[in-house]
Amino acid sequence: MGMTILPLEEHIAAEVRGIEVGSPHSEETFAQLRRALYRHSVLVFHDQDISDEQQVAFTRGFGRLQVTMASDPYGGGGFINRIANVDEEGRLIPPRDKRSLYQSGNNLWHSDGSFKAVPLRASMLSAKVVPPRGGETEYASLRAAYAALPDARKVQLEGLVAEHSMAHSRAQIAPGLLTEAFRKETPPVRHVLVRAVPETGEKALYVGSYASHIIGWEREKGSALLKELLDWSTQPRFVYRHRWKTNDLVMWDNRSCLHRGRPWENGIYKRIMHRTTLAGDGPTVS
């Protein structure tokens, strides 16, 4: 049985069948998967019981991996970012603990790494432990959202630049969530508000919880525009909701979609996910 790719929503996401992620694959297979990722933005693989080493190897088939920042409490400088509500001994972290609050930033709409001068190209998440209910991940198509804008709005947005920062994102959760080392390592950066995906030339909005204001605009006006565009981009017609099962593997293109985690009873049920990421193409502004 060969590999098949089945669209899940009109604008975003497809399920990939007939492939074992943990096995070696040819460049032809990876080329087919890359084309599917560019087209659908999100790829879903079910029943993939893989090790971290196998996940890293599979991710590497799509391009150059990005190591986590040494100051990131859930990365530590390796290839695996452990997104979980348990500590090193496997004990539940209380919901109001600072570590849980930091991770709740994942429940805001965002594109991984937009707080970096060179944002991340793609991400891959492997579900190790999932709660019996809740804890889904939603994905929103930034390409479809841009394409559906009125032409006059597209003209207005062309050339605009927004400031992005980790501090702005986590300030929406609670004060003091970032360590001083992490704050120093993640100063504010600038990104274009509309960018093109290099492989397809399609334009996409670049918004999300890291974006705070428009450069050169009065701050309140720019913030209002960013909120309007975020609300527009995350309408149900542009969104796919993934309901996790153990050993699901989901990959997404950060250049063409946003994502957010959904709440669950994190004081009762464990949720453990392992993420790998692909390094970005380059800065979005000169």
283 in any annotated domain: no
In a domain, 193, yes or no: yes
Residue 175: which pLDDT band, with cuts at 50, 70 and 90? Answer: confident
Query: What is the percent of the chain with per-residue pLDDT over 70, rounded to a whole number?
Result: 97
Distance, in Å, from the CA atom of 93 to the CA atom of 87, rounded to the nearest integer, reads: 6
| Core vs surface per residue 63-85: b (16+ CB within 10 A) or e | eeebbbbebbeebeeebbbbbbb
Confidence check: pLDDT of 243 > 80? yes
The total domain count for the chain is: 1
Asked if residue 26 is part of any domain, the answer here is: yes
Looking at residue 1, what is its pLDDT? 59
285 in a domain, yes or no?
no
- Residue 43 in tokens: 């790829």
Q: Note the pLDDT tens digit of each residue in 201-229.
A: 999 999 999 999 999 999 999 999 999 99
Examine residue 284 and state whether it is found in any structural domain, yes or no. Answer: no
Residue 73 lies in a domain: yes
Question: Which residue in 76, 77, 75, 97 sits closest to 86, CA to CA?
Answer: 97
User: What is the DSSP secondary structure assignment for residue 92, as one 8-state letter?
Assistant: B
Q: Which domain holds residue 192?
A: 4-278
Query: By C-alpha distance, which of 229, 187, 249, 237 is closest to 45?
Result: 249
Q: Quote the tokens at residue 100.
A: 């849980």
Distance CA 166, CA 178 (A): 9
- Given a cut of 90, whether residue 182 has pLDDT beyond it is no
Q: Which two tokens stand for residue 107?
A: 């429940």
Amino acid at 22: G
Which H, E and C letters describe the chain, residue by residue?
CCCEEEECCCCCCEEEECCCCCCCCCHHHHHHHHHHHHHHCEEEECCCCCCHHHHHHHHHCCCCECCCCCCCCCCCCCCCEEEECECCCCCECCCCCHHHHHHHHHHCCECCCCCCCCCCCEEEEEEEECCCCCCCEEEEEHHHHHHCCCHHHHHHHCCCEEEECHHHHHHCCCCCCCCHHHHHHCCCEEEECEEECCCCCCEEECCCCCEEEECCCCHHHHHHHHHHHHHHHCCHHHEEEECCCCCCEEEEECCCEEEEECCCCCCCCCCEEEEEEECCCCCCCC
pLDDT in tens, 31-63: 999 999 999 999 999 999 999 999 999 999 999
CATH of the domain at 76: 3.60.130.10
Identify whether 95 is part of a domain.
Answer: yes
Query: Does residue 169 fall inside a structural domain?
Result: yes
Give first-to-last CA distance, the chain, whole Å.
Answer: 47
pLDDT tens digits, 120-167: 999 999 999 999 999 999 999 999 999 999 999 999 999 999 999 988
